[in-house]
Amino acid sequence: MNAISRLATVISLASLSALPLSVLAAESKGSVEVVHWWTSGGEKAAVDVLKAQVEKDGFTWKDGAVAGGGGSTAMTVLKSRAVAGNPPGVAQIKGPDIQEWGSTGLLSTDALKDVSKAENWDGLLSKKVSDTVKYEGDYVAVPVNIHRVNWLWINPQVFKKAGIEKAPTTLEEFYAAGDKLKAAGFIALAHGGQPWQDSTVFEDIVLSVMGVDGYKKALVDLDQKTLSGPQMTQSFAELKKITTYMDPNRAGRDWNIAAAEVINGKAGMQMMGDWAKSEWTAAKKVPGKDYQCVPFPGTEKAFTYNIDSLAVFKLKADRKGDIAAQQDLAKVALGTDFQKVFSMNKGSIPVRNDMLKEMDKLGFDECAQKSANDFIADDKSGGLQPSMAHNMATSLAVQGAIFDVVTNFMNDKDADPAKASAQLASAVKAAQ
C-alpha cells in the first residue's frame, strides 16, 4: 500500500468514530484554529500579521503553533489530530502532501470556491503555484508566500576580519573562505544538526554538483540511476567536506540559533532558505550593509522553491461562522497588504504575479528583489525546481528516507560517499 492510501485508510476509519470538537463560543462571529510551525522571533512577527487581520475582521484566531523548524513535529501532531477526528480549521501543509491530505477527503473542496473566483486566484498565481494548492481542480489551500531555499547568508564584517574579500561563487572559493574563517577562530558555517537542516544543505550541494537537470532527475523524478550514480557520490563527497566547516557541537540546534551565530558575528555563513532573513529583519539588520544574501555557489541559475500554504479542513455545514472565518483568512492571505507585510517579515516573496513584477516599487529589499527576478527568469528557463527538503518535491515517506541517509552520513566521520549513494537509491525505492 502506498503512502497516500495508508494515510487515507487510517484517517477515514478514525473519522467515522469521532466527530470534530466544536471550539466555537456561541456568541463568536466564528473562529479558526491554525496549526503552523512559525515560532521563531521573525516567523512569529510574520504570522501575527495574519492573526491581527483575521481578528480585525471580527473572527477568533486560535493559535495552533507547534514548535520545530521544517514542520515535521507539526505534521505528526496534525496527523494524530486528524486520526482522532479533531483536525483544526486550517493547517500549514505544503507540496505533494496537500494531494495526500486531499485524497483522505478531509480537506474542503468547497470553502475556497467563491473566494478564489471572486479574487481571481487563477489569474494571480503562476500555474506551478496554483497546481500545488489544488486537489482535483479545486483549491484546498491558500498559498501565502514563496521561499527560495538555495541561499547562502554571509556576515561581511566577519568575512573582513578573516581577510575574505568577496562572497564565494564556486565550491572552491567556498572552501577557501571556510578555511580562512576557521583560521581566524570563527565558526565557518553555522548549522543546526537536525535532519531537515542537514538535507537543506545536501540539496544545495546536489544542485551545485549535478546542475538543474541532475537535481531534478535525482530529487524530483527519483531516478534510480541518478540517485546511485557517480555525480551523487561526488555530492556526498562534497557534503563530507562541507560538514568539516560546521561546529561539531551542532546536534539538535535550531536553525534560528544557527542564524543568530552569524548575526552576532560568531560565524561567517549559513546555508538556509530565506526564512533566515526573518531573523536578520527582526534584529533590525539591513541587507547589503549588515549581511549579504547570495545563491549557494554553483546554483545561481536555479531557484529551489518552497511555497508555504494553509490548507482548509472540511467542517460540518452547521459551523457557518467557522467556515466564514476560514474564508476570511483565505481572502486576507492573498490580499496585497498581507502579501507585502507578511513576506517582508518572513523573508519570502509574494505569490502574486502582479506583485512579483514590482518589488522595487513595493519597497522590498535587495534580497527579495533578486529572489523575485530569479523566480520569474528561472520559471521560464526550467531552473525553478521544488525543494526536496521542504516537502515540495516528494511524499513525506520518500523525504524521510532521504533525510535518514543524509543525516546518518553527516554524523559518521568514516562514512563512504559511494556507499551512501547506493543506500540513498535503495532507501528511496523502499519508501516509494
> Of residues 135-154, which lie at the interface with ligand BGC (CB under 6 A)?
147
- Could you tell me if 412 and 236 are in contact, meaning their C-beta atoms sit under 8 angstroms apart? no
- Give me the half-sphere count of Cα atoms (radius 13 Å) on the Cβ side of residue 267: 23
Which of residues 151, 174, 275, 403 is near ligand BGC by CB under 6 A?
Answer: 275
Q: How do strand 292-295 and strand 187-190 relate by DSSP bridges?
A: unpaired
The stretch near ligand BGC (CB under 6 A) out of 7-15, 69-77, 258-266, 423-431 is: 69-77
Per-residue mark of binding to ligand BGC, 147-186 (x: CB under 6 A): x---------------------------------------
Q: Is 71 in the site for ligand BGC (CB under 6 A)?
A: yes
Please select the residue that binds ligand BGC; options are 30, 64, 69, 143, rule is CB under 6 A.
69
- Comparing CB distances to ligand BGC, the nearer of 60 and 200 is 200
Q: Pull the grid cell for residue 384.
A: 525553478
**Nearer to ligand BGC among residue 319 and residue 390 (C-beta):** 390
Residue 70 lies near ligand BGC (rule: CB under 6 A) = yes
Asked whether position 192 contacts ligand BGC by CB under 6 A, the answer is no
306 binds ligand BGC (CB under 6 A): yes
- Distance, in Å, from the CA atom of 31 to the CA atom of 21, rounded to the nearest integer, reads 13
Q: How far apart are alpha carbons 212 and 203 in whole angstroms? A: 11
Give me the half-sphere count of Cα atoms (radius 13 Å) on the Cβ side of residue 412: 13
Distance of alpha carbon 219 from alpha carbon 394, whole angstroms: 8
Interface residue with ligand BGC among 7, 20, 32, 37 (CB under 6 A) is 37
CB of 3 to ligand BGC, least distance (A): 19
Sheet strands side by side (includes 267-271)? 187-190, 267-271, 151-154, 292-295
CB 307 within 8 A of CB 97: no
From residue 91 to residue 130, the character string flagging contacts with ligand BGC as x (rule: CB under 6 A) and all else as - is ----------------------------------------
- Taking the C-alpha atoms of residue 163 and residue 152, their distance in angstroms, rounded to an integer, is 18
What is the rounded CA–CA span in Å between residue 358 and residue 211? Answer: 29
Contacts with ligand BGC, residue ranges (CB under 6 A): 37, 43, 69-71, 147, 255, 275, 306, 308, 390
